[in-house]
């Protein structure tokens, strides 16, 4: 979470910034931590910003189509998505993360305006979701979460959200099974001592969890828009990875609707 925050802050310092996340920059300045330890480079930072930008754009599109909706931003970490996305007052926004992260978030980030709640809970619990009224369409956006869950936990989360709300979208990133196998090659994962579990090779695995749940977009990380913002070496790296069948599926961004 510190690595991705730092990535968005680094991106925002570039003239050709993808995300313009000035709140991330201010948050980094407030945290006494050697961010060099995250192993973030310009290429990985812009990669983080591109992923966040696509999820921001999909969330914006959902809000534009459903101005009165609920946004569930799961595993929010120190992400300032709630600050980045302008929205009408009719949008209910719920940020959720583990209690220790929420405590840090309260110290570092100002509370966004509007109908906003910051909930301290594991997403695998039931109570946080039961407390969110099911009266509006929902968009659940979760970035950097699915791979930290076991397959059973991930399936349970999708089932509970799609079962509670009459309609909505799930916007999230997944690792493929090769991404899970090669996880220790990802500096942010290795340096955080994290272990990744759930890999999704085919979005039909997620579609099968609820009647009518359909994939609207499935984008390989190597094919995302805004790639031109990467430094030259990063663009070459993506081209090489994109040409190798198993490697090009290490990561995807999914948009599913029901």
Ligand X SMILES: C[S@@+](CC[C@H](N)C(=O)[O-])C[C@H]1O[C@@H](n2cnc3c(N)ncnc32)[C@H](O)[C@@H]1O
- The residue ranges that bind ligand X (CB under 6 A) are 1, 4-5, 75-77, 79, 97-98, 101, 122-124, 143-145, 148
How far apart are CB 243 and ligand X at their closest, in Å?
A: 27
Compute the distance between CA of residue 76 and CA of residue 143 in angstroms, rounded to an integer. 8
- Residue with Cβ nearer ligand X (5 or 45): 5
- Residue with Cβ nearer ligand X (7 or 168): 7
- Residue with Cβ nearer ligand X (126 or 135): 126
Q: What is the 3-state secondary structure (H, E, C) of 42-77?
A: HHHHHHHHHHHHHHHHHHHHHHHHCCCCEEEEECCC
Pairing assessment for the beta strands 251-257 and 214-220 based on DSSP bridges:
antiparallel
Q: How many residues does the chain have?
A: 258
How far apart are CB 4 and ligand X at their closest, in Å?
A: 3
- Residue with Cβ nearer ligand X (173 or 249): 173
- Residue with Cβ nearer ligand X (86 or 100): 100
H-run or E-run covering 253: strand 251-257
The residue number with the shortest CB distance to ligand X is 77
In the block, residue with structure tokens 């992923």: 51
Q: Do the beta carbons of residue 129 and residue 164 sit within 8 Å?
A: yes
How far apart are CB 75 and ligand X at their closest, in Å?
A: 3
How far apart are CB 73 and ligand X at their closest, in Å?
A: 8
The encoded tokens of residue 125 equal 């619990």
């Amino acid at each position: 979470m510190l690595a991705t925050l730092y990535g968005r802050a680094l991106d925002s310092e570039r003239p050709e910034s993808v995300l313009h996340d000035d709140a991330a920059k201010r948050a980094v300045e407030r945290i006494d931590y050697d961010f060099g330890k995250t192993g973030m480079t310009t290429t990985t930072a812009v990669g983080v910003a591109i992923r966040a930008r696509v999820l921001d754009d999909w969330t914006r599109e959902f809000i534009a189509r459903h101005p009165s909706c609920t946004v569930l931003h799961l595993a929010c970490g120190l992400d300032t998505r709630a600050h980045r996305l302008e929205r009408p007052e009719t949008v209910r926004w719920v940020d959720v993360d583990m209690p220790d992260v929420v405590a840090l978030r309260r110290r570092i980030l100002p509370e966004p305006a509007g109908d906003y709640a910051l909930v301290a809970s594991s997403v695998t619990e039931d109570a946080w979701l039961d407390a969110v009224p099911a009266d509006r369409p929902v968009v659940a956006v979760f970035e950097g979460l699915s791979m930290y869950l076991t397959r059973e936990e991930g399936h349970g989360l999708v089932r509970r959200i799609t079962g509670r709300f009459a309609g909505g979208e799930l916007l999230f990133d997944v690792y493929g099974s090769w991404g899970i196998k090669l996880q220790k090659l990802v500096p942010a994962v290795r340096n955080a001592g994290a272990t990744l579990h759930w890999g999704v090779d085919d979005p039909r695995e997620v579609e099968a969890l609820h009647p009518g749940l359909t994939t609207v977009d499935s984008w390989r990380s190597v094919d995302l828009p805004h790639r031109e913002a990467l430094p030259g070496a990063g663009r070459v790296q993506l081209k090489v990875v994109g040409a190798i069948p198993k490697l090009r599926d290490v990561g995807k961004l999914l948009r599913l609707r029901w």
